Structure 1
Amino acid sequence: MNVIIVGAGKVGSYLTSKLSDEGHNILVIEKNKDVLERLLAQNDVMGILGDGRDLAVLDEANVDECDAFIAMTFNDDVNLISSMIAKKKGAKSTIVRLRDPRYIKYDEFMRKTMGVDRLVNPEYYAAKEIQRTLKYTYAVNVENFLDSKVILIELEIDENSKLANKSLMDLNAEGLLGNTIIVIGEKDDQVVIPNGNHILEVGEKIYVAGPREDIDKFYKRQVDNKKSIKNVLIVGGGSIALNLSELLLKRNFNVTVLENNKERAIDFSERLPECEVINADGSDPEILDEVRIENYDAVVALTGIDEENILISLLAKKRGIDKIIAKVNRTQLLKITGILDVDTTVTPKKSASFFVSRLLRSKENSRGESISNLFRLSDDRVEAIDFTVIENSKVTGKKLKDLNVKANTLIVGISRQNLGGKIEVANGESTIELGDRVMVVTKNKDFKEIDDILE
């Protein structure tokens, strides 16, 4: 596809790299010469130095011939105006980054009246990801599928786990998995889509999927009577922190925010008066002692500096905090955070990349949009995809055990649309029908529709 991306900041540059790797023809518009030159040196893409709102620049980019116009600058107004112009000039589809959380509430209005086909808010997505992870205290990662009816959680097997040193077949026979399925195993930098003979080892990370209520039961069996999270300390008062605080307060968490900038702290407090906001430097160990960090169940480091977030996480770990989450924008630092034993890392630009990749893949399918959701897991080595089954699919009407499914691919769950979205955890006797939503986990990277799972 011919794709124009406006903005080569953290989100735009990461998206450029990922979409280029997927084989799209990318042209980037960026007004900072040094930033653009650095991006072009690192990626096989084209670039134009200029402003995405400039009609002459858009004409030079042949915006009327582009399949997708993606506005990803840090400025909402620039993104909105450039996308409106692009749409008027003939861009087939517009995807717009809007950071202000108020825009989320008017998604339908924006799409109907302002030439915006899709809204992207990486900061809101990151906040939702953190909020889900805080519900499952001892999960490393949590994702939603099939209209949030299926949950995918990442856990690590420790020496006290009831799952350790047993095969998946034995776990099923003993009823330890219930109505859930282990879809990924990861240890020593090796990733597998496991079969029944796979034996879970201490230190192995696993991804478990199932209907929400069954995942809740499975999770409670694994953690026994371990403490749940109630009191949360957030360091940093930016957009993610604001979104997250609002989400947590609605769910009756106690939230305290440390923000070093006085004006931002005041603004935060005015927008969320029920949240305790302290104007202080959360990366200072003395400040953390003053606020009694040890009394919190979770610490979330959301400053604008990766190294600060890692330092805060390390300090929290030494204070014995149960759950630690850090925002890390530079993905090369994720290896370091693993060394420091941070529980969960959040990378907002990845959330935007998943969203856009899903949209573009669906649009490449000439028979209609068929991907409802897409996540990359295990350092992008595995994809979890939510497909909608469209007409003339080759997978319909057959039992799963009779389908010739590609290696390293697993059908996880089926949402029956003719039964109101009822969820069925897939097994050999299951069938797939027209209109169903199907969750698939695979190590393949180019699936655009459900039929792509077949040999």
Structure 2
Amino acid sequence: MKAMIIGAGKLGSRLAEFMNADDYDIILVDNNPNVVDRLNEHMDVITLQGNGTDINFLQELEVGTMDVLIATTGNDEANAMMCYFAKKLGCKLTIARMRDMEYLKQRDFLQESLSVDYIINPDQLTAEVIAKYLLRDVVFFTGDFAEGKVKMLDLHLRDHPELIDRQLMDIKAFRDLLVVAIQRENETIIPYGATVLQEDDTIYVLGKDQDIKLFLSEFALSNISKPVKKAMILGGGKVGAYLALALINAGVATTIIEIDYERIKFLAEHVEHALIIQGDGTDMNLLEEEDIAGYDAFIGVTGMDEQNLLMAIMAKQYDVPKSVAKTSRQNYARIIDKFPVDAAINPVNISVSQILKYLRGGTVVSLNLMLGGNAQVLEIIATPGMPFIGKRLADLNLDKGIIVGTIVHEGVVSIAKGQSIIRAGDKIILFVLSEQAEQMKKIFIPSNRSVVHELWDRAKSIRQSATR
């Protein structure tokens, strides 16, 4: 498979890493020579300097032979035009990053008129993930699968001595659950029954919704929190605006703190019913004046990771029940669990997950990156003809880094065991170390070529139907 990614920023370069692991032949383009030189030193892809809006440049690179072009620059208009040019030159599939709120109100028109097959908005996606977490009745950040029947919980053991220095097989609460991974310092461990939990571990637990709740209850982990009725957002940028709209729509009284006056005027016009305060959100006097201790949630979504983390930590000092920080730097991934915040949300990983899910086709219901991108959790629908149908899991000879966590058969969830058999129509929740993704795909996901051609045929069919 051949792919061109134009824009080698955080999203473009991260996406290139994962698509390269998915066996794509990648051309990564950026107009900044310093960026190209830096990436060329450590990435196993073709890196080129150039202007993706130059149709002659695209022709020289034979964009018409590409299976997919993904435009991830910081310019919405340029991304749209690159997709348009690529499609006219014969590229099969195009994806554009577009962040402007006004453009996204016209998403269908843009996709149709500019031949963009898929539009991704990292800011909107990030806001949706944060809002979903805030509106749950749990303190811990979890992932939902199989329409909420299956949940994954990440839990840091620093505050739970009753779990420390014990073997997994000796903890009765884990009998109906699966600990799929342990983050220990800079290492990801795939545990087994004799694995001993240590004080600074973060464990990732997968299981039925009711069993996760029983686990939390048994160890008095206080998973139930009062509903979020009042939220403070630090940063009135795009993520902050989308998040405020989502929370207000859910009936949450929302305050936005933003220092830039021009941005405040925009928010006043586009985000109705929010309390908008001009000021420095790192000024504790301001936060105390606004009674930060009286809020149910604090969310740091400025453009500075350090500021978001620091203020989210400070909010916990004021006993704010839910404290969230937006972080984009990958080098924070290994230490983020050490910070006393309830959730750290990475827009880059969220966006990469969505694009990979789209590229991998209809059998992949959801895909989440975790552990700083070193692992993936996928929800897959088993279809007739897949090589594992009707076989015992024990006979698949899966590598240690590929774990079938749960199987949902006719609506009934079960923890997968060696004797388990997957049938057509079942939903499977997989935990996969990214280094094992290639083997996982060969077994559980149809080939990329058939998926991309299926997507291309589907998009073409939609456009043809719309013109009739």
Instruction: Indicate whether the TM-score tops 0.5.
Output: yes
Deviation string for 1:1-47 (max 9, x for gaps)?
Answer: 32211222332233234444655332233334444444445534434
| Aligned residue in 1 for 2:320 | 321
- The CA deviation at 1:52 is 2.4
- The CA deviation at 1:207 is 1.5
The partner residue of 2:181 within 181, 184, 195 is: 184
| Aligned residue in 2 for 1:208 | 205
For structure 2, the residue ranges without an aligned partner over 5 or more in a row are: 446-468
Q: Describe the shift of the 1:227–1:435 C-alpha distance in structure 2 as closer, same or farther (beyond 3 A).
A: closer
Matched, 1:242 2:233: no
- The CA deviation at 1:179 is 5.6
Deviation string for 1:324-369 (max 9, x for gaps)?
Answer: 3222222224456556544432221122222333444x37xxxxx6
| Aligned residue in 1 for 2:420 | 430
The partner residue of 1:372 within 357, 365, 370 is: 365
- The CA deviation at 1:282 is 0.6
| Aligned residue in 1 for 2:155 | 155
| Aligned residue in 2 for 1:28 | 28
Q: Is the 8 A contact 2:388 2:422 kept in 1?
A: yes
The CA distance in 1 between the partners of 2:177 and 2:251, in whole Å, is 28
Q: Alignment length, in residue pairs?
A: 440
2:239 partner letter: I
The CA distance in 2 between the partners of 1:78 and 1:323, in whole Å, is 38
- The CA deviation at 1:274 is 2.0
For structure 1, the residue ranges without an aligned partner over 5 or more in a row are: 364-368
Q: Describe the shift of the 1:78–1:344 C-alpha distance in structure 2 as closer, same or farther (beyond 3 A).
A: same
Counting only pairs closer than 5 Å after superposition, residues 42-441 of structure 1 correspond to structure 2 as: 42-100=42-100, 114-134=114-134, 135=136, 137-139=138-140, 141-146=141-146, 149-160=149-160, 163-164=163-164, 166-171=166-171, 174=172, 176-177=173-174, 180-212=177-209, 214-216=211-213, 218-219=215-216, 222-224=220-222, 227-228=225-226, 230=228, 231-334=230-333, 337=336, 340-360=339-359, 362=360, 370-416=363-409, 419=410, 423-441=413-431
Identity %: 28
Deviation string for 1:193-248 (max 9, x for gaps)?
Answer: 33344444443212222344554554455433764352321100111112222222
The CA distance in 2 between the partners of 1:70 and 1:7, in whole Å, is 9
Q: Is the 8 A contact 1:130 1:346 kept in 2?
A: yes
Q: Is the 8 A contact 2:257 2:278 kept in 1?
A: yes
Q: Describe the shift of the 1:103–1:450 C-alpha distance in structure 2 as closer, same or farther (beyond 3 A).
A: farther
Q: Is the 8 A contact 2:79 2:98 kept in 1?
A: yes
The CA distance in 2 between the partners of 1:423 and 1:77, in whole Å, is 45
| Aligned residue in 2 for 1:366 | none
TM-score (norm 1): 0.84
Q: Is the 8 A contact 1:129 1:143 kept in 2?
A: no
RMSD of aligned Cα (Å): 3.2
Q: Describe the shift of the 1:315–1:182 C-alpha distance in structure 2 as closer, same or farther (beyond 3 A).
A: same
Secondary structure of the residue aligned to 2:280 is: coil
The CA distance in 2 between the partners of 1:43 and 1:450, in whole Å, is 24
Q: Describe the shift of the 1:252–1:200 C-alpha distance in structure 2 as closer, same or farther (beyond 3 A).
A: farther
Q: Describe the shift of the 1:181–1:100 C-alpha distance in structure 2 as closer, same or farther (beyond 3 A).
A: farther
Q: Is the 8 A contact 2:185 2:334 kept in 1?
A: no
Secondary structure of the residue aligned to 2:56 is: helix
Deviation string for 1:281-300 (max 9, x for gaps)?
Answer: 11223222222222223321
- The CA deviation at 1:87 is 1.4
1:376 partner letter: L
Range with bigger deviation, 292-301 or 230-239: 292-301
Range with bigger deviation, 384-393 or 32-41: 32-41
Q: Is the 8 A contact 1:182 1:209 kept in 2?
A: yes
Range with bigger deviation, 372-381 or 14-23: 14-23
The CA distance in 2 between the partners of 1:225 and 1:9, in whole Å, is 37
Q: Is the 8 A contact 1:192 1:408 kept in 2?
A: no
Q: Is the 8 A contact 2:186 2:334 kept in 1?
A: no
The CA distance in 2 between the partners of 1:250 and 1:15, in whole Å, is 32
TM-score (norm 2): 0.82
Q: Is the 8 A contact 1:132 1:142 kept in 2?
A: no
Q: Is the 8 A contact 1:48 1:57 kept in 2?
A: no
